[in-house]
Amino acid sequence: MQFLEDAGKTFNKLLNKAMGLSSAPSVIACVGPDDETVDQRTGYYGEKLVLFLQSLGLNTCWAGTYNEKNVAATINDGEKLVIVIAVGYGVDGGKVRKSKGVKDVIDVNGDCPQWFLDGVEMALLAPTAINQQKFLITLKDDESVEFTDKGGVLSQIDLGIVKCHFELGSGRTIVI
């Protein structure tokens, strides 16, 4: 994660206005090894950082649309720019968005333990690309959980973010 104090021309002006990023002077460039696990790990650990920054009074936005050539991050051989996170003081606290219901995102046989339901409810608060919430959380037995990516834009990053939120809500450690 590379903090870039000056976002420069990371976002074009029209997108800035449409997404409300005009007050985000800085970005965090998420760069990692170009492998099959980097997107999910970026989502998980990036969301931990996002939640911390929010607790400090900053506003953040996972931004999947940006001008990659204008991101002044250091990207070494074998690495890729995964995504950027806009950081700054927002004009407002954000907007409430529609969310799926618990039954829409779970696969359970029988009763659900409270820790599982708490984790799912927190996962439904997780930001996902285009608010798509394309994930499934399966209770395998009384102690294990499986997360399924149902596809879509930036879905592996989303799954990492969802796992972070589930972990916070359920109090259970999730392996990334």
Query: What domain count does the chain have?
Result: 2
- The Cα–Cα gap between 50 and 86 comes to 10
Q: Specify whether 65 is located in the same domain as 111.
A: no
Residue 80 in any domain: the answer is yes
Q: Specify whether 81 is located in the same domain as 111.
A: no
Q: Specify whether 53 is located in the same domain as 114.
A: no
**φ, ψ for residue 4, nearest 5 deg:** -115, 105
- The Cα–Cα gap between 138 and 148 comes to 8
Q: Specify whether 115 is located in the same domain as 60.
A: no
Residue 31 in any domain: the answer is yes
Name the residue range of residue 110's domain.
102-170
pTM of the model: 0.92
pLDDT tens per residue, range 47-77: 999 999 999 999 898 988 888 888 999 999 9
Helix (H) / strand (E) element for 148: namely strand 145-149
Residue 96 in any domain: the answer is no
- The Cα–Cα gap between 47 and 174 comes to 14
Residue 97 in any domain: the answer is no
| pLDDT beyond 60 at 15 | no
pLDDT band at 6 (very low <50, low <70, confident <90, very high): confident
**φ, ψ for residue 106, nearest 5 deg:** -120, 155
pLDDT tens per residue, range 35-51: 999 999 999 999 999 99
- The Cα–Cα gap between 42 and 48 comes to 10
CATH code of the domain in which 81 resides: 3.40.109.10
| pLDDT beyond 70 at 133 | yes
Residue 27's alpha-carbon distances to 7, 69, 87, in angstroms, are 5, 14, 5
In the chain, the amino acid numbered 50 is V
Residue 10: both structure tokens together: 């990371």
Say which DSSP state 103 is in: G
